[in-house]
Structure 1
Amino acid sequence: REREREREREREREREREREREREREKERERERERERERERERDANPPNLSFLFVCLSVCLSVHLFVRS
Structure 2
Amino acid sequence: MSKLLSILVAALFATVSAASFAADAPKKEEKKAEKVEKKVEKKEEKKAEKAEKVEKKDEKKAEKKDAKK
Q: Could you tell me the TM-score, scaled by structure 2's length?
A: 0.60
Q: How far 1:42 sits from its partner (Å)?
A: 4.8
Identity among equivalent positions (%) equals 5
**Coordinate RMSD, CA, aligned:** 2.7
1:40 match? 40
- Structure 1 distance, partners of 2:37, 2:55, is 30
Please state which structure has a larger fraction of its residues in helix: 2
Aligned length: 65
What runs of 5+ residues in structure 2 fail to find an aligned partner? Answer: none
**Does 1:14 pair with 2:6?**
no
Q: Could you tell me the TM-score, scaled by structure 1's length?
A: 0.60
Q: How far 1:7 sits from its partner (Å)?
A: 0.9
What runs of 5+ residues in structure 1 fail to find an aligned partner? Answer: none
- Structure 2 distance, partners of 1:40, 1:48, is 12
- Structure 1 distance, partners of 2:65, 2:19, is 68
- Structure 1 distance, partners of 2:38, 2:12, is 39
What letter matches 2:36 in structure 1? E
1:57 match? 58
1:3 match? 3
- Structure 2 distance, partners of 1:41, 1:59, is 29
